[in-house]
A and B are shown apart, each in its own frame.
Chain A
Amino acid sequence: MPKIIVEVMPKADLLDPQGKAVGNSLKRAGHNVSTVRIGKRIELHFDHTPTEADLEAAKKAAADFLSNGVIEDVVAVTVEA
């Protein structure tokens, strides 16, 4: 299915308690990771190949609604045909 994928991450300088908890758990299980951060992947599905206009609309929705610029960054908005 053609889709646009929006990826959102908590801002780098903000505490990410979810990532911290998962990181601690991974370390306890023996994984050699230093930190973990958890973001969101949002898939917008289409019944046609997304157009330039669809991508622009998705970028706007990503900035205005799918993320909150105070606490999060949109790291990518990509078409996956």
Chain B
Amino acid sequence: MKIGVVTFPGTLDDRDAARAVRLAGGEAVSLWHADTNLHDVDAVVLPGGFSYGDYLRCGAIAAQAPVMQTIIEKANEGLPVLGICNGFQVLVESHLLPGGLIRNEHQHFICRDQKLIVENVDTAWTNQFTLGEEITIPLKNGEGGYIADGETLKRLEGEGLITFRYSEVNPNGSMNNIAGLRNARGNVVGLMPHPEHAVEPGFGPDTKVAMRSGVDGLKFFTSVLKSLVEA
């Protein structure tokens, strides 16, 4: 199974995302922002970073990039797409997910191992989790405050589109503790924390068992491979 990982100018975590795909058993394919061809990939990861230097608004210029026009079209036809951090910002700027992300409430950049509650497992990227499971993956952002108007929030809650919520601490002032969302079809998921940084023992968050042994992020990538096998 081929998973495309997009690199925009200013993307930082593309190589970690590609590594996560390989550790999960998939083949990672690099996609370039200026390319409209997705090279027959079966799913796409929009990784974290600061695409186009966060100019104008985080993710706004990336949403206009040639590769995104193809991704938007294919995502609307069911192609699995995961947006991580800046990738989540690209998804909201592309209108594949609703709402927006603004500067953290307390105005500081955050970098911490963050506990999340898995709120929805009926997606291409979360089917290997258990509903209500608590996971820990790194969070690192300056503009991760999720906002939406009252009507949208009501719809997100009512239709079960909230996929991850922050647990214990709301680190950035996100409304309803929203850390991640899915679309109605479940093929598009976006979240601020970084699953690709918690995929290999020795390099993940600390756990009760051992330092840096957390691999909760790996299930995002095994989930998509499973959903592709079943498709």
Q: How far is the CA of A47 from the CA of B148 in the complex (A)?
A: 39
Q: How far is the CA of A66 from the CA of B149 in the complex (A)?
A: 20
Distance (Å) between the CB of B64 and the closest chain A CB? Answer: 7
Number of chain B interface residues as a range: 10 to 19
Is B23 an interface residue, CB under 8 A from the partner? no
Q: Is the CB of A21 within 8 A of B60?
A: no
Interchain Cβ contacts within 8 Å, total number:
34
Q: Which residues of B contact A14 (CB under 8 A)?
A: 102, 147
> Is the contact region of chain B dominated by helix, strand, or loop, or is it mixed?
loop
Q: Is the CB of A68 within 8 A of B60?
A: yes
CB-contact partner of B64 in A20, A65, A68, under 8 A:
A65
Q: Is the CB of A17 within 8 A of B149?
A: no
CB-contact partner of B60 in A15, A17, A20, A65, under 8 A:
A65
Q: Is the CB of A17 within 8 A of B148?
A: no
Given contacts A17-B103, A17-B105, contact A68 B93 (CB under 8 A): yes
Q: How far is the CA of A17 from the CA of B56 in the complex (A)?
A: 16
Which positions in A face B, CB cutoff 8 Å? 10, 14-15, 17-18, 20-21, 65-66, 68, 70-71
Q: Is the CB of B147 within 8 A of A71?
A: yes
Q: Which residues of A contact B93 (CB under 8 A)?
A: 68
Distance (Å) between the CB of B60 and the closest chain A CB? Answer: 7
Is B104 an interface residue, CB under 8 A from the partner? yes
